[in-house]
Amino acid sequence: MSSTALSAGLEDGLRYAAENSGDRARLGQIVRAHGAPEVSALAAESFVPPNGIDDVVAYWSGFAHGVGQFLREHLGPE
């Protein structure tokens, strides 16, 4: 797993969650997604990933973890 792709995904996931913090349902779906294709499909409505990602699985895993981190740090439980 590429640490660069993972780190980029984490940063993008944090940013995505901050920009979409009002859509807790979608953010929760991203966190609970079962794999890269599901995460990318959920985010695709309002997010375009960067070109040249060397490991898309690592990227989307990082993205989902970034969203989860944002939810834990900023929104807490409902």
Nearest CA to 70 out of 10, 25, 29 is that of: 10
pLDDT at res. 78:
52
Q: What is the pLDDT of residues 31-43, one digit of tens each?
A: 999 999 999 999 9
CA distances from 31 to 52, 54, 58, 68, 69 (A): 24, 22, 14, 6, 9
Q: By percentage, how much of the chain surpasses pLDDT 70? A: 94
- Whole-number percent of the chain with pLDDT over 90: 82
C-alpha–C-alpha distance, residues 36 and 56, integer Å: 7
- How many separate domains does the chain show? 1
- In 10-72, which ranges are E strands? none
Range of the domain at 18: 3-75
Length of the chain measured in residues = 78
Q: What is the pLDDT of residues 1-25, one digit of tens each?
A: 668 999 999 999 999 999 999 999 9
pLDDT of residue 46: 86
